A and B are shown apart, each in its own frame.
Chain A
Amino acid sequence: MTLSYMQMVAANWAVVLMYVAAAVFAIAGVQFEKDSLERVGFRIASAGLALHSVLIALRWREVGHGPYMAPSEVLSSDAWMIVAGLLVCRRLYPRLKAVGVLALPAAFLLLALAQFYDPGIRSLPTTFRSVWLIVHIALYKISLATLVIGCTLAIFYLMKKRSDAGWRQRLPSLEVLDSYSYRFAGFGFIFWTIGMLAGSIWAYQSWGRFWGWDPTETWSLITCLTIAAYLHLRRFFGLRGTLGAWCFIGCFVISVLTLFVMATLSGSIHAQYFK
């Protein structure tokens, strides 16, 4: 099965619209305290994710490489991972169903942004034909999804702390939001770290160096250390509550800068392929 360029564009916009609809239902479900609306939202998100998966698979087959060479592919697969992470999170932690209120808009914005980039086929350098590259990229994407969920919980914490009226009453308690935010920071940290190590193994296999102080590598390590500092502060220095939430949001901002800004602006080997 192959799709023409126009069919592919139309199908991608259809997925964007499905995620928008899912977000609207998720928000309405929380706003009006209707579980049925929230469930409809997640069914639409699941259907959107299924179509999104098919489109990524077709593109993969067409261009001969995974969704990591062109900005449109990178953003689309990031959106896919956020929605997939959200669905897994909802299944494992039913109390966190409200996370879709912020995570779904993040996903549809990323996917919509992807549609404005040149979808031309990028050649795959021979050094990129390594399973370690796929492991490296997949783990960073999983880490991003967990950090998005954790950051959503931190934002909910701050909003609920400020006022517990209206729809905020239907969010989980402050203790629950605080604990889960910490837990997702831990997930993000470990997946980020393993992704970085996989990249190091790939670099050693391809270029004979496992660490080259490339700007993106350096920023990735800075992010890793920053999240590690947050986790230490939480575990040993009693960092909790409002300050803890702000610290985590700070870590999230640094991780987003590393993934989306440093990897494209700096004179890094990563920038060569993502420009």
Chain B
Amino acid sequence: MAMRPIFSALMRNKAGLALIVVQVAITLAVICNSLFIVLERSTRVGRPSGMDETGTFTIDSLGFAADYDVRDTIHADLARLRALPGVIDATSTNTTPLTNGGWSTGVTTEPGRGVDSSGVQPAAMYFMDEHGLDAFGVRLVEGRAFQAGDVREFNQNTRIQSSVAILTQALADVLFPDGGAVGRQIYGIANDNQPVTVIGIVERLQVPWVGWTDVEQSVLVPAIQIDGNFSRYLVRAEPGQRDALMPQVEKALQDGHSGRLVRRMRSIEEARTRVYRQDHAMMSILGGTMVAMLVITGLGIVGLTSFWVTRRMKQIGTRRALGALRGDIRSYFQTENALMIGFGILLGALLTYGFNAWLMQNFNTARLPWPYLPMGALAMAVLGQLAVLGPASRAASVTPALATRTA
């Protein structure tokens, strides 16, 4: 199909052309950037925490009775929980992934680097006892798990006393790029100058804060915090037993000591849902916006092309009378549409990267990877061709006899 005459005819219908071009350009910019954000969020939401999310849950205990002894209660509670049928294991802990709350530290391979931030790797600290790895359901890939003798109790006065730790693979890789982390010493767990020996590496255990850049960098510390009257337990149930087990655990703890509140029992799955709620909402909103933009643009193309077909009925009849096949008429409108969408894509490319630059500056988003633009352009071209199909077919069905009818 001849482009030049179609192009010159389009140039004489600038208002309609501009309408579609601007609409396509804006849609392309919104679609590309929204899709990028949605996929980025989707990846973030879908990444594994490293623990057994389906079988685990946490529950908090806060003693209020005058005779409440947190150390004794923790040990009694853990024994009681581990004895429950359907429990794989249980541990005392400070936090879990997907909660956006926990302890962080800076880990180094040399002492005294705390004041000098170079070489310090940010990491989350998970406290647990010798049952911790099983309770979390993390996979040990190197070294050994904690033993009872590794576990130290601590409070605000004593600080962390542990002398061994387990690293996530990501943290081990960044601290010891050449490998061989097990058996080496790190600093920053107990204090900046006290060495802690790495005894093992787990495949993955994400930090509690889902927005962290170094989300895979965690250190597992064999410690039980004996502070105030608060304790938190992580319980891992046999597959399929979690929901049935949760009320039993709650009752067992309540029965174990009446001078306390047992609260905030929450599965890790629920924690995931809660922590990513905003991301899901944003994905839904952006997804809806994308669909709406595509529908509006598609309808805009259908509307304008239908209007042009109606306005050009006589012209179409004349073209048919002069020898145009039905296919020629159809392809005329398809080519015209492709040209309009092409202009829209050119303008849209500028808008897309302009919009991305604005998002980067104001919302700290990443740079849009280049494949999004050709993919978006292809989507717009397909949308355009689909939208023009109906009006173009209507135009192709115009009878050539229309040419001899008076307007």
Q: Do A and B bind each other?
A: no
Give the B-binding residues of A (Cβ under 8 A). none
